[in-house]
Structure 1
Amino acid sequence: MSAMLQASGLTKEFKGFVAVNNVDLTVERGTIHALIGPNGAGKTTCFNLLTKFLQPTRGTITYDGRDITSMSAADIARLGLVRSFQISAVFDDLTVLENVRIAMQRRRGDSYDFWRSEVVLAQYDEEARGYVESVGLGDFLNHRAAELSYGRKRALEIATTLALEPEMLLLDEPMAGMAQADVDRISALIKRISEGRTILMVEHNLSVVADLSDRITVLARGEVLAEGDYDTVSKSPDVIDAYIGAGHD
C-alpha cells in the first residue's frame, strides 16, 4: 500500500498551550483509519489540522504525495480530500435530491449554476438520484431535509460528500448523537462506501471503531500514544490507563 494522507511532526500551539505535539500519522490508501482518544486528547485539533481548518505551528501534511501544508480547506477539497462535520451540514429547506444536486453543481466549479433554471438543473437529477439511493434514502428523495431523522440527515451529508467524487473522506464523529439503529445503519453505509476510497474518521464509539477500522491511532494529551489494529491498541496498557484515567469504560 501507499500513503494517501501523511503528517510529519504535526504541532499546534495556542498561546503557549500545545494542543497537538509532534504527531506522525500515515493513512494508507484504500483503508479505514480511526483516530481515537479520551476527551482532551487533541483529536479534533488534529483533524482540523489535517483538513486545513487550522494551520499547523510546525510540521508537514502531504496528500497523495503532494504537500498541502499551506493550502486552504477549499483547495484540498478540490483535490479530492473532503470532510464531514460533527453537526450535520445540510440545507433543511431543500429536498434530499436538491441537497445532493447542489454538491454536484459545486463540482463543476461554476457559481452561476445556482441561478440557472430548474429545467437546466434537471440534468443533474439522474446522477443525484444514484447518490441518494447509494446511502439508502431513495424513499425520501423529495422530502425536505428538515423532515429527516438525525441518522438520515447524516446519511444525506455522506451522499453530498460522495457527489463531490472524493478519493478520501474524513468523517468527524459520524455516530455522534445517534440511536443504536442509526449507528448500525451508518456503520454499514461507511463500510459500503469505503470500497475504492480511503477514510479517516474520528469516533468515540469503540465498538464501531473495532468493526470498521483497519488501523487505529490513539492520541492522549496531544501525542500519539499507540497505533495498530484494534486488538493491538485495545490491549495496550498505556491506552487502557488513558481511558480509565479519563473516566471511560
Structure 2
Amino acid sequence: MADFVLETRNLTKSFGGFKAVSDVSLQVKRGNIHALIGPNGAGKTTCFNLITNFLTPTSGQILLDGRNVTGIGASQIARMGMVRSFQISATFGSMTVLENVRIALQRREVNTFNFWSSERGLDRLNGRAMELLDWVGLADLAQRSASELSYGRRRALEIAATLAQEPSVLLLDEPMAGMGREDIRTIADLIRRISASRTILMVEHNLSVVADLSDRITVLARGQVLAEGVYAEVSKNPDVIDAYMGGQHA
C-alpha cells in the first residue's frame, strides 16, 4: 500500500446552497510534488483552506500521517508539520531579511511570540537563520530590508521563513504568481531541492512549471475532481483539455 502522508476523504464545503468543493478525495504520496490545477473558481484555494483548517469542512475528513486532523486549529496543524504559503507574498517589509527568518524561528520555539526578548537574546537564532538564507540564495542580502527585494527574492524569503518551521508537508499556493521567466526558474529549482526531503502540494497555473516539477496532478473543475495522474496522461484527457487547458497543451 502506498505511503500517503496527506489524504482528504470526500471533502465538501458548502456556502449556503453553493458547493465550492464537493467530495474531493486526494492522496498525496510522501516525498512527491503533487499539483492541484484547474480553471479559476475550480475550488483549489478553498481546498487549501480546508486542508489547513482556515475553513471548516461541511463534511469529509483530512488525514495527516494517518491521523484525522479535521477541525484541528490551523496553528496546531502547522506544529504537526503541515505548513502553507499564500498566493500573495507575506514578508515583513520593514524588517531585514535576517529578521524575517529569525521571527519564524522564534515562532517555532514557543507557542506565543516573546516580544520582550532583547535583540541580543535573539542572536542565538542567527546561525540557523543564516543557514536557511544561504539555502535559498539570500545570505548575501541578510541585512537588506525585505521591502528592497525583487518579487522573486521575496518569494524565496517567504519559503525560507516557512522552512524555519521545519514542515514535513509544504502547501504552496501559486508560488510562481506574478513572476518573470528568470524568477520562475529560480523558484522552480528551489522547490525541486525542497522536495528532496519534504512532501509538496501546490496550486499552480503555470502549466510548464506543473509539467516540469510534478510527480502527480489532480485536476479540479467546479469543485470536483475531474482527473488525476501524471502530466503525460492528464494533459491528453479530453475532459481536462475542454475544462482547463483549452487546447493550449497537447
Q: Same fold (TM over 0.5)?
A: yes
> In the alignment, does 2:121 pair up with 1:109?
no
| Structure-1 residue corresponding to 2:17 | 16
Residue 124 of structure 1 is matched in structure 2 by: 125
Partners of 2:111 and 2:27 in 1: CA distance? 34
Match in the other structure for 1:73? 74
Unmatched tracts of structure 2, length 5 or more: none
How many Å apart are 1:59 and its aligned residue? 0.3
Contact 2:106 2:113 in 1 (8 A): no
Q: State whether residues 7 and 61 of structure 1, in contact with CA within 8 Å, keep that contact through their aligned partners in structure 2.
A: yes
Distance 2:148 2:236 in 1: 43
Aligned equivalents of 2:234, 2:46: Cα separation in 1: 21
**After superposition, where does 1:168-247 map in structure 2 within 5 Å?**
168-243=169-244
Q: Secondary structure at the match of 2:115?
A: helix
In structure 1, runs of 5+ residues without a counterpart are none
Runs of 4+ in structure 1 off by over 6 angstroms are none
Name the structure 2 match of 1:28.
29
Q: Say if 1:41 and 1:222, in contact at 8 Å, map to a contact too.
A: yes
Code of the aligned partner of 2:201: L
Letter matched to residue 55 of structure 1: T
Change (3 A) 1:238 1:135: same
1-structure distance, mates of 2:195, 2:245: 32
Change (3 A) 1:143 1:6: same
8 A Cα contact 1:37 1:243, kept in partner:
yes
The Cα of 1:114 is off from its aligned counterpart by 2.9
1:163 aligns with 2:152: no
Q: CA deviation at 1:113?
A: 3.1
Aligned 8 A contact 1:105 1:114 in 2: no
1:129-159 deviation per Cα after TM superposition (whole angstroms, max 9, x unaligned)? 0000111111111001000001000000000
RMSD: 1.3
Q: Determine the C-alpha separation between the residues in 2 that align with 1:179 and 1:8.
A: 37
Question: Which amino acid in 2 is paired with 1:207?
Answer: S
Q: 1-side partners of 2:105 and 2:10: how far apart?
A: 36
The answer as to whether partners of 1:38 and 1:248 remain within 8 angstroms in 2 is: no
Q: Does 111-120 or 125-134 show the bigger shift?
A: 111-120
Shift of 1:105: 0.5
User: Following the alignment from structure 2 to structure 1, what is the Cα–Cα distance between the partners of residues 113 and 221?
Assistant: 46
- The change in CA–CA distance for 1:109 and 1:3 in structure 2 (over 3 A counts) is same
Q: Which amino acid aligns with 2:226?
A: L
Q: Distance in 2 between matches of 1:202 and 1:123?
A: 35
Aligned-pair distance for 1:197? 0.5
Residues 112 and 90 of structure 1, relative CA distance in 2, 3 Å threshold: closer
Residue 244 to residue 27, structure 1, CA distance change in 2 (3 Å) = closer
Tell me how far 1:47 sits from its aligned partner.
1.3
1:6 and 1:62 in contact (8 A); partners too: yes
Whole-angstrom distance in 2 between the partners of 1:143 and 1:39: 36
Structure 1 residues 25-62: Cα deviation after superposition (integer angstroms, max 9, x where no partner): 00011110000001111111111111111111010000
Q: Does 1:148 align with 2:149?
A: yes
